[in-house]
């Protein structure tokens, strides 16, 4: 990925111009309600996304308002991430709103959040009214991503900047209700939450309600999960696709989970198991991962691309089969997928930004990234008092 084609590098100035701050009234471009209030537009490299940023990036738009007011801004080009929790927006994108920062004991609460690609984001928490689709606004803490917040700090160094990110922020709708959970309520050395003065920060505990909240969990009705719906794409790929994110599962006429769908309960790490060959490995689904990352069977002969060490480049597209199961051992059935050449699909076809057949090596997990979601309605159930959530498809 470090050596990828320059055309994959996002022209962030374009998207910044497209989402300047200001007061907004209806209609809100990019926030499509349809007949029901729980339908959110979802796109890969299409409507509401910065053009040609990177492969397999699903994006959505969300309206943010100063709490209790109609001073609002629609923020587009937010990465839809089912692998993280909470809404995070680069501070400069919403600077015009003047969202109030979250404080505790006279200090500003800030967070360091890490991702599977090694990146970190840093910045203060702020309170916002968040509007998903045409749902009622929910007042929750969000993160204003700002690597320059408390510049003299010693924590979370090397945090991401807007110019490097490829999006305006992240809408995290994982199976968890909060981004850290119970562990951050008792230990100040959690590594995520900090209380900051002007010149330095120190680790702090955060009560559950003060952590970044899954905005879906905060909804009055459609609060038990989401459905990701994206159309199928041929192995050779497509420039873009349009789909929907439905809020809630079984709460409306449009989001019932089919009885025949494969249902896999998640364990206490939000994971299940996937076997491609041999022993099953830990697995998760993640729209924020832009490929299928796993350890292929040796017999498949899959090797990485000469110039792209993160991706496979087989001579011809391979069909593989994986078996999913709950961590408890309950079988979830087999699932077929394809791996083609990242170079042939992505580099040799400059217009292609969506492909179901790209993947790379990962030793410890099976990471079912965005390709898993193409052509498949995926139901992602939130944790409840009796479960860690589920994935169904």
Partner 1 sequence: MHTPLRSHLARLALALPLALGLAGPARATLGEAEASVDRDADAMKMTSVRRAATAAAASPASGGSVPVGDRVVHELRAGLLSVRQYAVAGGTVFAVAWEGPVHPDLDTLLGAHARAYRAAVAGPRAARGPRRIVAGNLVVEFGGHGRSLQGRAYLTDAVPAGASLDDLR
Instruction: CB nearer to partner 1: give 66 or 382.
Output: 382
Give the shortest CB-186-to-partner 1 separation in angstroms: 7
State how far the Cα of 372 lies from the Cα of 289, in Å rounded to an integer: 10
Give the shortest CB-52-to-partner 1 separation in angstroms: 11
Give the shortest CB-242-to-partner 1 separation in angstroms: 20
Query: How many beta carbons lie within 10 A of that of residue 224, not counting itself?
Result: 20
Q: 118 in the Ramachandran plot: left (φ > 0), alpha (ψ -120 to 50) or beta?
A: left
Give the shortest CB-44-to-partner 1 separation in angstroms: 13
Beta strands 120-131; 169-173: pairing state: unpaired
Q: 113 in the Ramachandran plot: left (φ > 0), alpha (ψ -120 to 50) or beta?
A: beta
Give the shortest CB-250-to-partner 1 separation in angstroms: 24
Give the shortest CB-282-to-partner 1 separation in angstroms: 7
Tokens of 317: 């597209």
Instruction: CB nearer to partner 1: give 222 or 367.
Output: 367
Instruction: CB nearer to partner 1: give 2 or 26.
Output: 2
Instruction: CB nearer to partner 1: give 106 or 118.
Output: 118
Q: 105 in the Ramachandran plot: left (φ > 0), alpha (ψ -120 to 50) or beta?
A: left
Instruction: CB nearer to partner 1: give 39 or 171.
Output: 171
Q: 8 in the Ramachandran plot: left (φ > 0), alpha (ψ -120 to 50) or beta?
A: alpha
Tokens of 210: 């003060």
Give the shortest CB-194-to-partner 1 separation in angstroms: 9
CB-based contact 228:192 (threshold 8 Å): no
State how far the Cα of 252 lies from the Cα of 204, in Å rounded to an integer: 40
Instruction: CB nearer to partner 1: give 268 or 385.
Output: 268
Give the shortest CB-309-to-partner 1 separation in angstroms: 6
SS3 of residue 256 by DSSP:
coil
State how far the Cα of 89 lies from the Cα of 143, in Å rounded to an integer: 6
Query: How many beta carbons lie within 10 A of that of residue 371, not counting itself?
Result: 26
Instruction: CB nearer to partner 1: give 199 or 260.
Output: 199
Tokens of 331: 């079988």
Tokens of 142: 């969000």
Instruction: CB nearer to partner 1: give 31 or 192.
Output: 192
State how far the Cα of 253 lies from the Cα of 250, in Å rounded to an integer: 7
């Amino acid at each position: 990925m470090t050596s990828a084609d320059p055309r994959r590098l996002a022209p962030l100035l374009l998207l910044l111009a497209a989402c300047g701050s200001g007061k907004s009234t209806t209609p809100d471009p990019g926030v499509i309600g349809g007949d029901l209030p729980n339908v959110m537009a979802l796109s890969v490299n299409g409507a509401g996304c910065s053009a040609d940023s990177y492969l397999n990036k699903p994006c959505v738009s969300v309206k943010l308002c100063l709490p209790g007011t109609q001073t609002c801004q629609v923020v587009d080009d937010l990465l839809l991430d089912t692998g993280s929790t909470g809404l995070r927006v680069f501070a400069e994108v919403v600077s015009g709103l003047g969202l109030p920062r979250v404080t505790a004991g006279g200090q500003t609460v800030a967070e360091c959040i890490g991702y599977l690609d090694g990146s970190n984001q840093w910045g203060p928490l702020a309170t916002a009214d968040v509007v998903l689709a045409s749902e009622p606004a929910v007042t929750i803490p969000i993160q204003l991503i700002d690597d320059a917040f408390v510049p003299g700090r010693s924590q979370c160094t090397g945090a991401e900047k807007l110019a490097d990110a490829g999006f305006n922020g992240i809408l995290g709708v994982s199976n968890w209700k909060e981004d850290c959970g119970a562990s951050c309520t008792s230990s100040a050395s959690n590594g995520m939450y900090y209380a900051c003065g002007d010149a330095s920060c120190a680790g702090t505990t955060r009560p559950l309600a003060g952590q970044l909240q899954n905005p879906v969990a905060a909804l009055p009705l459609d609060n038990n999960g989401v459905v990701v719906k994206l159309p199928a794409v041929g192995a050779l790929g497509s420039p873009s696709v349009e789909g929907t994110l439905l809020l809630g599962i079984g709460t409306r006429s449009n989001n019932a989970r089919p009885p025949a769908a494969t249902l896999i309960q998640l364990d206490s790490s939000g994971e299940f198991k996937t076997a491609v060959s041999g022993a099953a490995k830990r697995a998760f689904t993640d729209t924020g991962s832009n490929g299928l990352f796993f350890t292929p069977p040796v017999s498949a002969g899959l090797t990485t691309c000469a110039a792209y060490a993160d991706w496979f480049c087989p001579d011809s597209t391979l069909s593989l089969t994986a078996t999913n199961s709950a961590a408890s051992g309950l079988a979830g059935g087999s699932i077929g997928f394809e791996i083609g050449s990242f170079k042939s699909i992505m580099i040799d076809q400059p217009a292609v930004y969506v492909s179901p057949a790209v993947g790379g090596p990962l030793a410890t997990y099976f990471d079912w990234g965005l390709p898993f979601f193409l052509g498949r309605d995926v139901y992602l159930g939130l944790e409840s008092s009796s479960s860690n959530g589920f994935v169904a498809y």
